Amino acid sequence: MAKYINPYTDFGFKKLFGEEANKDLLIDFLNQLLPDNHQIEELNFRNTENLGEMLHERKAIFDIHCQSKKGERFIVEMQKAKINFFKDRSLFYSTFPIREQAQKGEWDFRLTPIYMIAILDFQYDEKEEKQKFLRNVDLKDQDGDVFYDKLNFKFIQMPLFKKGEAELINHFDKWIYFLKGLETFDEIPTILREPIFEKAFGVAELANMTAQQYEQYQESLMTYIEVKEFVRTAKDDGKREVAKEMKNDGEPIEKIMKYTGLSKGEIDEL
C-alpha cells in the first residue's frame, strides 16, 4: 500500500500546491521555472473558474490560478492524459488572465506577465529527435528574437524525465524527481532531506489525512486510474487496427511488430 499520495490526481495535486497553508511549496516550485526578474516572494490564489463574457463562450476551469505580489499571473495545470488540441487549449486558457486585466474607462492596455505551466503525465513529442522534457515557449519573430516576453508557456513532459537520485543536478531536478516518484517512495530519499521537501512529504502522507480527505483522495485516485486505463485501451485498439491493415496488405510480421509494438502472438491472433 502506498504511503504517499499520487500527485497526478486532482486531489493530490491541489493538496500539494493549491492550499493556502502550502503556498510556500508552490512558490518554491514555480521559482525554479521563472527568470530572476519574475521570482515570487508572495502570491495569492484566484478563482480557478472563469466564465466567458457571452453565453456562447466556453467555461474554463483551471487546477491552480494565482497572482504574485508584483502582478505576474500563473495558471498551473496537471494534465493526466493526452487530449485533442492540447496547444489550442493552453492558448485558450491563457486568454482569461489577459482579459481579466482589462480596466473600465481609459486604460493604456499595459499587461502584467502571464505564465501557463502544464505538467504533463504523457508525452506529446512523438518523434524522438524533437523530444524535450521542458519546453519553454514565448512569442518570437522570424529571426528567433523575442518579440513579446509577457506571455510564456512552459510544458513539462514527465515521462521524458529519466534521472535517478545520483543524477539530480539542481533544485528543479529534485522537484521533478519528487513529483514523479512520490507515490512509490517508502521514505524520504536522502537527497530530498531539505526543509521544503520534508514539508511536502508531510503534506503528501496518507496517514496525516482525515477520514474525509482520504475518501476524497480515493475517489480522485480511481478517476485517475480510469482515465489512464481508457487511454491505454484506446491506444492498444488503435495499434491492433493498424496491425490488421498491415497484415491484410501482406506486410512482413517483423515490420508489423516494429511499427505497432505488438508481439508475434498478438498479431497472429488478429
Q: For residue range 226-241, list pLDDT tens digits in order.
A: 887 877 776 666 767 7
97 and 215 together in one domain: no
pLDDT band at 270 (very low <50, low <70, confident <90, very high): confident
Amino acid at 3: K
63 and 114 together in one domain: yes
Q: What secondary structure does DSSP assign to 13-59, as a single string?
A: HHHHHSSGGGHHHHHHHHHTTS-GGG--S-EEE--SEE--SSTTSPP
21 and 71 together in one domain: yes
Q: For residue range 127-138, list pLDDT tens digits in order.
A: 766 789 999 999
Q: Please report where in the chains the cell 500563473 appears, as a residue.
A: 74
50 and 120 together in one domain: yes
Segments forming the whole domain that contains residue 93:
10-209
Is residue 3 situated within a structural domain? no
The pLDDT assigned to 56 comes to 46
Is residue 4 situated within a structural domain? no
205 and 216 together in one domain: no
Sheet holding 64-68, edge to edge: 43-45, 64-68, 73-79, 114-120, 146-157, 134-140
Of the residues 209, 236, 256, which one is the last residue of a structural domain? Answer: 209
240 and 153 together in one domain: no
Grid cell of 50 as nine digits? 472563469
Of the residues 191, 209, 227, which one is the last residue of a structural domain? Answer: 209
Is residue 47 situated within a structural domain? yes
The dihedral region occupied by 85, where left means phi > 0, alpha psi between -120 and 50, and beta the remainder, is: left
Of the residues 182, 209, 236, which one is the last residue of a structural domain? Answer: 209
Average pLDDT of span 71-91: 86
Q: How many structural domains compose the chain?
A: 2
Grid cell of 34 as nine digits? 521563472
Amino acid at 221: L
- Least confident segment among 1-10, 92-101, 142-151: 92-101
